[in-house]
Amino acid sequence: MSDVNSRISEIVNAHDVVLFMKGTPLFPQCGFSSRAIAILDHLGVAYDSVDVLQDMEIRQGIKEFSDWPTIPQLYVKGEFVGGSDIMMEMYEAGELQQMMQDKAVARAEA
């Protein structure tokens, strides 16, 4: 396993919910990342984020790691869930809420 793969693997295993995104939750640098953050905030779950714009190795590496061509990318309990389109589809169908419950993901602190 290459260095970047083991770095990404450590990140997705260290955080229950982690979003690889462009920018930060407060200052998303792309509409799709902004939408993903809005969904996570609506769900009210605790999450971490990785700004791929600050790390070119991860920006490229995550696409190969997930076999997924775009960013943002959501991981829950080490499992790839999808990008912002899938997050929105799942959110609208109530599936994302259900998944967070089923996986016993912690709530965000108010």
Query: Which residues, including other chains, have CB under 8 Å from residue 40's CB and lie 6 or more apart?
Result: 17, 19, 47, 74
Put residue 71 in one of left, alpha, beta given phi > 0 → left and psi -120 to 50 → alpha: beta
Residue in 4, 55, 80, 99 binding another protein, rule: CB under 8 A: 80
Closest CA to 19 of 42, 49, 62: 49
**What length does the chain have?**
110
* Residue 109 lies near another protein (rule: CB under 8 A): no
Q: Which residues, numbered 50-69, are part of the site for another protein (CB under 8 A)?
A: 63, 67-69
Rg of the chain taking only CA atoms, in angstroms: 13
Q: Min. distance of Cβ 86 from another protein in angstroms?
A: 5
CB closer to another protein out of 47 and 91: 91
Residue in 86, 97, 99, 105 binding another protein, rule: CB under 8 A: 86
Q: Min. distance of Cβ 58 from another protein in angstroms?
A: 15
- Name the site residues for another protein (rule: CB under 8 A): 31, 63, 67-71, 80-83, 85-86, 89-90
